[in-house]
Amino acid sequence: MSENLHIRAQRLLAESLVEGIGATDQKWLNEHLAGCTDCSMEASSARELVHALRNVPIQTPRDLAERTQMRVRLRAAEAARSQESGLGLWVVAAASWLVGIFSAPLVWRGLSWLGSNFGIPKIALEMGFVLWWAVPALAALTIVLHQRNTNAAAKGMR
């Protein structure tokens, strides 16, 4: 049971040094540190370390904020372009389906004519009709995958 108390004390100590803890947890931690020399020494070392880290001078470039803002703007523009291209793809896909629906009777008549005049088996005609619907979807999928690979490659180069 006492090891669980030490683990709890270590967890609360870490939380108190970074983000703060509630009053009841702080009271428990103070009482535990008053009675446990090992945890008290660890707490003292951790406080000294955090104090030393907070006092380390850090040199930042003068234009860091401007560069960060520029990166954020570029990323926002890239995200907007990505959304626009996605919308365009949906419009093209919807148009493709509409054309497919309205031209299906003509395509079927054309395939039937080919079958009756050239002796093409019915299964081949049915496969041709399925391809009439599948090819635009496969083309759209190819475009989407190509765009994703291009975007991934561009992000990897940065």
Q: Are residues 33 and 80 in the same domain?
A: no
Q: Can you give the residue range of the structural domain that contains 17?
A: 2-54
Task: Report pLDDT digits (tens) over 46-64.
Answer: 999 888 888 888 888 888 8
Same domain, 150 and 99: yes
H or E segment at 77? helix 64-118
Matching residue, tokens 């009709």: 129
Q: For the residues of 110-152, what is the DSSP string, one character each?
A: HHHHHHHHH---HHHHHHHHHHHHHHHHHHHHHHHHHHHHHHH
d(CA 115, CA 125): 7
CB burial of residue 136 (10 Å; 0-12, 13-18, 19+): middle
Please report the pLDDT score of residue 1 as a whole number. Answer: 44
Mean pLDDT of the chain: 84
pTM of the model: 0.38
50 and 79 belong to one structural domain: no
Q: How far apart are CA 120 and CA 110, in angstroms?
A: 12
Model confidence pLDDT, tens digit, residues 78-132: 877 766 666 777 777 788 778 888 888 998 899 899 899 999 999 998 998 888 8
Number of domains the chain contains? 2
Q: Do 82 and 46 belong together in one domain? A: no
